[in-house]
């Protein structure tokens, strides 16, 4: 009931499991979703794509510097590891996690889950993408949009088979039931004084994961006075605003894939954004994401491919068609898988 007051977020220093890409691929195979892996162009976390969109849009503050390690497997499949950033968010006052905990209800039996991630497959400018992303909540079936449940806690049915030790000791426990993509919800908090959602940050997050619902809570120093609900169908204006960036992201992915193929499967490359310049480096390590957790790499510069001062992208490039939403619910190629930590 509004209004309500929540405490500031506490830095929980949540640690992602090692070999995240191996976990991603294992989760897809475990739930029985058939996926012809050699036909995939990019396997990545949504955060990597969001970081590239920020750079494309000119949001090149020092805190947005990042490094994305990548690896070519097969003929053209590029793996993106988790982004490494040089900024930990220190000094900011947020209420996002508190808002999530205060407005969602865990299902019985899964209260101790620490996070839920969905894995989806879609087409983006002709590239077959497999994208993992964290989900905040979902709409409760049969009870309307007002009642939210943390998505990872919706997997609440009893375990149907024992844990299996695979992928460097990770235990996969089969449990629960799949939640429909149409019910996924992104939760955001906004200061009442701004009176608006920061669409430059939020829209790519929704679009690149096909998340259809946004619930934004407006507050003043943690006291929330209202919650607004938006649906992707209502965001056509934002889609039009971001059309150039989406096309440029397609061009960027094309260049990255070409570089990866050129240097081959035995070369480990990294994308590095620093001082407003996106560069590609060759890592000294030959370790694979699919066998071991990469060590701290050393770099050897091979080529500077992106500079903000250079014309890198052609907006009207005929090789790219106008962007289409890659999240059509009736698309038979759409697949999803879940992994819970």
227-282 confidence digits (pLDDT tens): 899 988 778 888 888 999 999 999 999 999 999 999 999 999 999 888 878 889 88
pLDDT score, position 159: 35
Stretch 271-296: mean pLDDT, rounded? 76
Boundaries of every domain in the chain: 4-340
pLDDT score, position 103: 81
- Pick 122 or 295 by higher pLDDT: 122
pLDDT score, position 130: 95
- Pick 327 or 197 by higher pLDDT: 197
pLDDT score, position 153: 37
Compute how many other C-beta atoms are within 10 angstroms of the C-beta atom of residue 340: 18
Q: How confident is the model at residue 300 (pLDDT cuts 50, 70, 90)?
A: very low
3-state secondary structure 15-67: CCCCCHHHHHHHHHHHCCCCCCHHHCCEEEEHHHHHHHHHHHCCCCCHHHCEE
- pTM for this predicted structure: 0.76
Stretch 293-311: mean pLDDT, rounded? 38
DSSP state of 151: G
- Pick 31 or 80 by higher pLDDT: 80
Nearest-5° Cα angle at 182, 332 to 80 = 70
Of 112-126, 284-298, 305-319, which gets the smallest average pLDDT?
A: 305-319
Identify the top-confidence range among 46-50, 88-92, 177-181, 220-224: 46-50
pLDDT score, position 72: 95
Question: What CA–CA distance (Å, rounded) separates 299 from 279?
Answer: 11
pLDDT score, position 211: 94
Question: What CA–CA distance (Å, rounded) separates 202 from 187?
Answer: 10
CB–CB of 152/116 below 8 Å? yes
pLDDT score, position 173: 66
Please give the mean pLDDT across all residues of the chain. Answer: 72
**What's the CA dihedral at 146, 93, 62, 217 to 10 degrees?**
20
Q: How confident is the model at residue 184 (pLDDT cuts 50, 70, 90)?
A: very high
Indicate whether 293 pLDDT > 70: no
pLDDT score, position 315: 30
Question: What CA–CA distance (Å, rounded) separates 156 from 177?
Answer: 8
Question: What CA–CA distance (Å, rounded) separates 137 from 184?
Answer: 6
Q: Tens digit of pLDDT for each residue in 49-80?
A: 999 999 998 875 656 788 999 999 999 999 99
């Amino acid at each position: 009931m509004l209004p309500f007051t929540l405490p500031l977020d506490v830095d929980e220093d949540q640690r992602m499991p090692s070999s995240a890409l191996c976990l991603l691929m294992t989760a897809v195979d475990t739930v029985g979703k058939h996926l012809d892996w050699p036909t995939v162009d990019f396997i990545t976390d949504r955060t990597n794509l969001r970081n590239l969109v920020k750079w494309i849009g000119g949001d090149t503050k020092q805190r947005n510097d990042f490094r994305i390690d990548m690896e070519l497997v097969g003929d053209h499949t590029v793996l993106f590891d988790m982004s490494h950033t040089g900024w930990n968010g220190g000094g900011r006052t947020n209420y996002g996690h508190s808002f999530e905990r205060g407005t969602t209800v865990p299902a019985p039996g899964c209260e101790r889950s620490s996070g839920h991630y969905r894995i989806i497959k879609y087409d983006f400018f002709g590239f077959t993408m497999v994208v993992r992303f964290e989900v905040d909540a979902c709409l409760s079936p049969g009870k309307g949009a007002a009642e939210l449940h943390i998505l990872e806690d919706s997997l609440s049915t009893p375990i149907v088979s024992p844990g299996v030790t695979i992928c460097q000791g990770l235990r996969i426990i089969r449990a629960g039931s799949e939640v429909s993509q149409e019910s996924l919800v992104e939760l955001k908090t906004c200061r009442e004084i701004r009176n608006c959602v920061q669409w430059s940050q939020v829209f790519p997050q929704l679009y690149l994961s096909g998340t259809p619902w946004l619930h934004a809570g407006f507050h003043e120093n943690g006291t929330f006075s209202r919650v607004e609900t938006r649906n992707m169908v209502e965001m056509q204006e934002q889609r039009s605003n971001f059309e150039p960036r989406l096309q440029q992201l397609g061009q960027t992915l094309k260049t990255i894939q070409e570089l990866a193929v050129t240097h081959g499967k035995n070369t480990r490359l990294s994308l590095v954004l620093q001082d407003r310049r996106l560069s590609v480096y060759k890592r000294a390590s030959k370790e694979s994401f699919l066998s071991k957790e990469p060590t701290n790499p050393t770099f050897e510069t091979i080529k500077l491919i992106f500079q903000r001062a250079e014309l890198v992208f052609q907006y009207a490039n005929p090789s790219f068609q106008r962007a289409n939403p890659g999240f059509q619910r009736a698309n038979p190629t759409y697949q999803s898988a879940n992994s819970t930590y």
